[in-house]
Copies of this chain bind each other. A is one copy, B any other.
Amino acid sequence: MLRFPRLLLPAVLAATLTSALPADEGMWLLTAPPRAQIKERYGFEVTDPWLEHIRLSSMRFNVGGSGSFVSADGLVITNHHVGFDAIQKLSTEQRNLVRDGFHAKAAGDEMKCVDLELNMLVSIEDVTARVNAAVPEKAEADASNLARRKVMAEIEKESLEKTGFRSDVVTLYQGGAYHLYRYKRFTDVRLVFAPEQTIAAFGGDPDNFEYPRYCLDFSLFRVYEDGKPYKPQHFLKWSKDGAADGELTFVFGNPGNTSRLLTLPELDFVRRLSVPMQKATLKARESLLISWSARSAENARRAKDVLLGIQNGRKVRDGNAAALYDPVFWQAKVKGESDFRSRLAQSPEKFGDALAAFDKIAEAQKRVNEIFPRFRMIEQGVGFASDSFGYARLLLRAAEERAKPNGERLREYGDAGKASFEQRLFSEQPIHEDLEIVLLSDSLQYFAEQFGPDDALVLKVLDGKSPRNRAAELINTTKVRDLAVRKQLYEGGQAAVDAAKDPLIEVARILDPEARSVRKEWESLSETKKQAQGALARARFALEGASNYPDATFTLRLSYGAVKGYEENGQQIPPFSTYAGLYERNTKQNNREPFDLPTIWQKAKTKVNMKTPFNLVTTHDIIGGNSGSPLVNRAGEFVGIIFDGNLQSLSGDYAYDDRQGRALSVHSSGIIEALDKVYGATAIVAELRNGKR
């Protein structure tokens, strides 16, 4: 599924895109929609009223997702996996809404969510001039930053006071433009309907990112105001037949973040070092946990969540690698950068800074490549995978950092993050000693293999023992898994931590000089790159203005595209899956997890129309954060809901590619068929069809 955010380690951005966009590319600003392209490709005229209608029908979920109004009585549709957090928080031991689903048959049954916030984008204002005016022209980077942050905060405060709306100044084009987004906030949100998780995420990890799919990945909420259902001025009418093959559709949603503007040396680092190393680590960890899980049911239970996360990550990295090693994909990137450079070179007097920025980035990146393996192993802790080591390092560093003035501390030990830091350090989550030993011994072995058995740090850490025996010794003798000990050491500060002579804290101490030094260099290189990228972004915006789209910022964007199958391994993959396909897959898998169906679905088998479309693929340019975005037709009607991309769409972090990459939606007719024939949710069906209760 589309998880939010899908961050790559080096979250750095730069401007390289050519303005000649292929096909249906782009996550467009609503203030600068690609009217000409849409008109040219699809003969459709994007009008202001049409845009406003959909903008005011769209919703942003604060948990990291999108949604839309689908009735005049404030009914909102999103993904099940976007609503998941709220659904889980409403569950109790006796009432497992995640497993069993939920259906409010009467208005009074709707359940108020704990901390769900929805935002409706009411206006957008360009405040670039005011922001830039507040920044002194010749200021140092730090002073500029400070001045910029100050004026942005002022604008937000003023706006909030004046309008009462949530007001966010959004940095677009990495500083090329600043827009003030005003949102109407909804905090009384109630759960109306959720299917069972087994059908919402049918096929689980094995089918994750695959297609054809059969996921009923939607849930329904109702927005209330003053204790009554909110009556939105705008909502999406439910389409009678849903999306058809080849049809032009639109996605309105909040894509989280992309790294489309990385320069070639940065992207080359991703493909040669970062992604292959992450792949190797994830697959080794997966093998380890699968093997350990097979030893007992209890082991399997303990490792399950971690393993699922690893498997999701492994699919994402495999997808990234597939894109980055595709010569066609890469050549497009090369051409993009080369074209951009040529355009800059035409006005060297104007773009001198930008042209120099390329070299600055390349130089910094060279050093990043060199230090990355040690940064990753020692500071990011890949060589010390275990919760116990995590605690040991937090305790060691907290003692040192808290003794310093706030401004001089490592970021995560600052006063601002104190509460969340302490929440993390004093977590009461269960830690399993046996799993800790398995994880630490495997990662110490990896540490020794990568750096070599004679590496000075390896020798010090292993202390003359094998990785396996050293891990067992450390995990068995450390006291940091004891909450009381953590509290005592944290409160006792440096003296207490030193006196403890805890073996795992001592290992963290052995690592710390190099860990701190490599981190310092890493952060300084990142800052150098960021400033150079700023110069590129400004140059690019100067050339293109808003004729191109900015990297994703978790704000409302418009994508356009068509319902369209694709070819894979020489086979044509049809655009729609159907109910027949769902039941067939369930039968072929002998109803085994994660291909099992809830009883109510088994019973409904004779009632549903097997030809009803279930999921579909489209060419839209989407990314994590787009989950729950409505798929809208020319008439502005709801024809489906985005819930995932296929494996080939995982190139989307770096570039749009529609040769095989596709966005996945649940078809609107598939939703109605389930509500009607499977769940007998006649009132909801009527509300969706009529656009009101």
Contacts and interface: CB of A to CB of B under 8 A. Distances in A.
B279 A284 contact: yes
A296 B465 CA distance: 44
Given A297-B588, A329-B466, A569 B476 contact: yes
A272 B322 contact: no
A71 to B, nearest CB: 38
Contacts of A295: 206-207, 210
A651 to B, nearest CB: 10
A152 to B, nearest CB: 41
A323 B207 CA distance: 38
Interface in A262-314: 271-272, 276, 279-280, 282-284, 286-287, 290-291, 294-298, 311, 314
Nearest to A476: B570
Nearest to A471: B569
A569 B280 contact: no
A237 to B, nearest CB: 38
A679 interface: no
Q: How large is the interface on A (under 10, 10 to 19, 20 to 34, 35 or more residues)?
A: 35 or more
Contacts of A314: 287, 291
Contacts of A469: 326
A671 interface: no
Interface of A is mostly: helix
Contact of A434 (B207, B272, B321, B569): B569
Contacts of A311: 291
A466 B589 contact: no
A250 B596 CA distance: 53
A468 B294 contact: no
Contacts of A589: 296-297
A291 B282 CA distance: 13
A325 B467 contact: yes
A374 B203 CA distance: 39
A439 interface: no
Contacts of A449: 272, 276, 321, 325
A569 B448 contact: no
Nearest to A325: B448
A283 B287 CA distance: 6
A321 B465 CA distance: 14
Interface in A451-480: 452-453, 459, 462, 464-469, 472-473, 476
A172 to B, nearest CB: 32
A286 B314 CA distance: 13
28 contacts: A205-B294, A206-B291, A206-B295, A207-B295, A272-B449, A280-B283, A283-B284, A283-B286, A283-B287, A286-B290, A287-B314, A291-B311, A291-B314, A291-B315, A296-B588, A296-B589, A298-B588, A322-B467, A322-B468, A325-B466, A325-B467, A326-B466, A327-B453, A327-B465, A327-B466, A328-B465, A437-B569, A473-B570
Interface of A: 205-207, 210, 271-272, 276, 279-280, 282-284, 286-287, 290-291, 294-298, 311, 314-315, 321-323, 325-330, 434, 437, 445, 448-449, 452-453, 459, 462, 464-469, 472-473, 476, 568-570, 588-590, 592
